Amino acid sequence: MRPRHRPWEEAADFQIGLRPIAPEDWLEGGEADPAARKDPLFAASRGLVWAEADGSRPGQAEAADLIAAALGPAPAPAELPPLYAAARRLPDDLCLMEKRDGEWRLTALSLSAGSFFTAQEVIGRSLGELHGPVTGFADRFLVRVQRIFEGLRPDLVLERRNWTVLNSNALHTPSSAPIRARIGEIGPSQAASALSLRVERQTLRRLPRTGGALFTIRVWLAPLGSLAGQPERLAAFAHAWRSATPELRAYKRFDLYDDLVESFLADPQPA
Ligand code: HEM
């Protein structure tokens, strides 16, 4: 398994990184039965993976229509909220952003592959509040990101990606603590298989009827060892790892993985 996206080859710092893509490339697909993964979480851990604000159903329905237009129509179980019914057809998570009291806020989300946050924690948050933990976001990015939401044309599909390294190959990672608690169990020779490259591919598009925006998050995972045997890819990853800014390293807790990653880079075995 090779990583499908390699965003570490592009930037060593936080970035907005939104670029337009062809509308036909919007959803990448590639998971046979997303509902089989999402439905048990929706049943057993609802608050971790689903939340909706009052008044969000029209926006949810428009988001579901957009998905149906892309994938073709499918019967939606009437008892499910429209955004969740749409999300269970896709590998991606779906976040509905709507303007409330002058702020872009998260009004519904299906978050089955959350990266250290949960649906119930973030529902209702503004763009500024969502990004409170991201070093420098308010000073460097917030105003520009708000403008992007304001100016989003209906025919535009934007994509951005980010990445990290984690000692987990699970998609559903609501909390960092149980994962980080296991780092000490990994020996240097196990780094190739025990560490994963975790890439998020995110897209953004306007919902023209209700005025909101749909933000999608797709998580791709590959073992670190998938880079073995590819000298240029390895060199690019090593450069990204070592040249990441102190703020990015601190935010992603690269310090916890430095020894393991360097062991792998010194002797890059396949996973
Ligand atoms: C479309 C414009 C957006 C940009 C440019 C952006 C940018 C960022 C950046 C730079 C980070 C730090 C990690 C990374 O490099 O990706 C981040 C984290 C995050 N973003 Fe966004 N973001 C956007 C939209 C959203 C939306 C719509 C949501 C709503 C769910 C969201 C939720 C988050 C969360 C929860 C985090 C993690 C914060 C934490 O560490 O707790 N972002 N974002």
**In this structure, which residue's CA is closest to atom 20 in ligand 1?**
131
Q: How far is CA 74 from CA 64, 92, 204, in A?
A: 10, 17, 23
Q: Give the single-character DSSP code of 41.
A: H
pLDDT digits (tens, 9 = 90+) for 172-190: 999 999 999 999 999 999 9
Mean pLDDT of 1-11: 90
Please tell me the predicted confidence (pLDDT) of residue 1. 67
Task: Quick: pLDDT tens for 94-116.
Answer: 999 999 999 999 999 999 999 99
Task: Show contacts of 26-30: CB within 8 Å, 24+ apart.
Answer: 26/70, 26/157, 26/203, 26/205, 27/67, 27/70, 27/71, 27/90, 27/92, 27/203, 27/216, 28/4, 28/91, 28/92, 28/201, 28/218, 29/90, 29/91, 30/91
Which residues, judged by CB distance below 6 Å to any ligand atom, belong to the binding site of ligand 1? 14, 16, 18, 95, 97, 106, 117, 122, 130-131, 133-134, 145, 160, 162, 204, 215
Helix (H) or strand (E) holding 86: helix 82-87
